[in-house]
Amino acid sequence: MSEGVEWGLHCCLVLAWLDDLAPLPVGRLAEVFDLPPEYLKKQLQPLAKAGILVSERGARGGYRLGRDPEAITLMDVVTAIEGGTDPFQCTEIRQRGAGQTGAPAEFAHPCGISMAMRKAELAWRRELASQTLAELIANTPDTAERRTRRFIERTATA
């Protein structure tokens, strides 16, 4: 999983905390976490395309949440940034090398490794789909929100 998922989730948290402010430009979001703005922008664009964020153009433009935090799951963010590809890709190496002489019936069913990985992936997806941005907010110390708000307000006047 790319670091873009972490970046996207943190930015969604910040935008939820600061929903009473104007949209935040990508440069301001990048400053909150000391990230490169152009690379962060590339991570936020798929979130906007998925409707998780809204991108507003213009001098006062920027990003804001596109849905209520209760309606955004961690899996929504992961899927938007990473796409729907499976993290484990079985390439059937068991059929190469020594496996080349195996009978076709031996390979009629997925191998135990592939089945175990699929089972783990399904559990991972279910867990991420069951957690919302609102739950992350509820479990994040209030000090993080206050610190972020002070940072944004302070750098707006600097």
Q: What is the pLDDT of residues 66-120, one digit of tens each?
A: 999 999 999 999 999 998 788 788 888 889 999 989 998 989 988 999 999 999 9
| pLDDT above 60 (res 158) | no
Measured between alpha carbons, how far is 118 from 102 in angstroms, rounded to an integer? 24
Q: Show me where the domains of the chain are located.
A: 3-157
Q: Looking at residue 134, what is its pLDDT?
A: 97
Asked if residues 89 and 50 have their Cβ atoms less than 8 Å apart, the reply is no
Asked if residues 17 and 137 have their Cβ atoms less than 8 Å apart, the reply is yes
Q: Computed from CA positions of residues 14, 140, 128, 134, in that sequence, does the dihedral angle turn out positive or negative?
A: negative
Read off the pLDDT band of 157 (50, 70, 90): low
From residue 117, alpha-carbon distances to 43, 89, 112 in Å are 27, 9, 9
| pLDDT above 80 (res 156) | no
The percentage of the chain sitting over the pLDDT mark of 90, rounded to a whole number, equals 72
From residue 103, alpha-carbon distances to 99, 106, 114 in Å are 9, 5, 19
Domain 3-157: top CATH class: mainly alpha
